[in-house]
């Protein structure tokens, strides 16, 4: 159904990435899982695509659990902690008990202010002294890393020395997720109400999803996506008008 499988890392933020490791099922996997319910077989591309649209429109979601993605992700710890709240997936994360921390820290390009209405959100703040904030932040990060290294040199265990490190440190993990859960992730995290940093990962995953499962992605745009995102909104607006109802 698609040959666009790219295993190259997709850069996210300043040092992060999303890399596809493995993939199973695809759009055809959804169709096959749905039709087995009544002993049916594929009826051709047009009918199969309509079936996917029908399933998603009417919230018949279990067939989408039979298509699976495995990603290798590098993200700041504070992003990963939001990510891991998506529980219907499998995770394996690098352990800083076993490995020594690298000098990989997320350094934001722009500092945002606290949103005046949304207690958990942020917004542009032209009054902030960006240069001074960047310098202050870098000084703090460098100092934390220096203390960490000094502790290791003194013989402190890695599992304890890591306590001095800030949450903008990059971590890495494997994430195995089915298409149903991936749609949930994109719906929540690619939305403009999500924090900017995880939103960037949501957008990167949406592109992977679109490339690997184009029929399901189109159905998701039509009936699954309810959020706000300029890029995704443009994709949704560009969808062709359906001539007949899916059956």
Question: pTM of the full predicted structure?
Answer: 0.93
Same domain, 160 and 183: no
The whole-angstrom separation of Cα 17 and Cα 174 is 12
Task: Give the domain CATH number at 19.
Answer: 3.30.1360.170
Catalytic residue annotation = 189
pLDDT in tens, 94-152: 999 999 999 999 999 999 999 887 777 898 899 999 999 999 999 999 999 999 999 99
Give the total number of structural domains in the chain.
2
Q: How many CB atoms lie within 10 A of CB 178?
A: 22
Do the domain assignments include residue 243?
Answer: no
Contacts 24+ apart (CB under 8 A), 206-209: 206/232, 207/10, 208/10, 208/18, 208/20, 208/69, 208/71, 209/69, 209/179, 209/182, 209/183
Domain stops at, among 147, 164, 181: 164
Same domain, 151 and 174: no
Do the domain assignments include residue 193?
Answer: yes
Do the domain assignments include residue 100?
Answer: no
Q: Which of 37-41, 159-163, 165-169, 231-235 has the lowest mean pLDDT?
A: 37-41
Confidence of residue 3 (pLDDT cuts 50, 70, 90): low
Alpha-carbon Rg of the chain, whole angstroms? 21
Nearest to 34 by CA among 50, 55, 53: 55
Do the domain assignments include residue 28?
Answer: yes
E strand spans, 59-208: 68-76, 90-93, 113-114, 122-123, 170-178
Which residue is associated with the tokens 């059956």? Answer: 247
Same domain, 115 and 44: no
- 30 and 55 Cβ atoms separated by less than 8 Å: yes
Same domain, 32 and 86: yes
Same domain, 70 and 116: no
Contacts of 49 (CB under 8 A, 6+ apart): 27, 215
Q: What's the domain range around 131?
A: 108-164
pLDDT in tens, 65-90: 999 999 999 999 999 999 999 999 99
Per-residue burial over 193-206, b if 16 or more Cβ lie within 10 Å, else e, is ebeebbbbbbbbbb
Query: In this predicted structure, what is the pLDDT of residue 116?
Result: 82
The whole-angstrom separation of Cα 145 and Cα 161 is 10
Do the domain assignments include residue 246?
Answer: no
Same domain, 113 and 233: no
Tokens representing residue 143 in the block: 């100092």
């Amino acid at each position: 159904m698609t040959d666009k499988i790219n295993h190259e890392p997709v850069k996210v933020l300043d040092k992060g990435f999303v890399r596809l490791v493995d993939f199973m099922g695809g759009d055809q996997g959804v169709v096959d899982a749905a039709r087995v319910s009544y002993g049916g077989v594929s009826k051709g591309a047009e009918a199969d695509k309509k079936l996917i649209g029908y399933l998603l429109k009417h919230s018949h979601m279990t067939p989408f659990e039979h298509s699976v993605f495995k990603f290798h992700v590098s993200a700041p710890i504070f992003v990963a902690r939001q990510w891991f709240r998506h529980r219907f997936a499998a995770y394996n994360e690098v352990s800083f008990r076993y490995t020594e921390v690298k000098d990989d820290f997320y350094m934001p390009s722009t500092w945002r202010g606290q949103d005046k209405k949304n207690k958990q959100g942020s917004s542009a703040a032209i009054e902030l002294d960006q240069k001074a904030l960047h310098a202050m932040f870098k000084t703090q990060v460098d100092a934390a890393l220096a203390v960490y290294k000094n502790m290791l040199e003194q013989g402190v265990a890695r599992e304890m020395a890591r306590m001095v490190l800030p949450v903008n440190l990059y971590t890495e993990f494997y994430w195995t997720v089915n298409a149903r859960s991936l749609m949930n992730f994109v719906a929540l995290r690619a939305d403009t109400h999500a924090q900017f940093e995880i939103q960037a990962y949501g957008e990167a995953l949406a592109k992977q999803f679109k490339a690997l499962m184009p029929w399901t992605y189109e159905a998701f745009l039509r009936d699954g996506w309810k959020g706000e995102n300029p890029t995704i909104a443009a994709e949704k607006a560009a969808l062709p008008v359906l001539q007949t109802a899916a059956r």
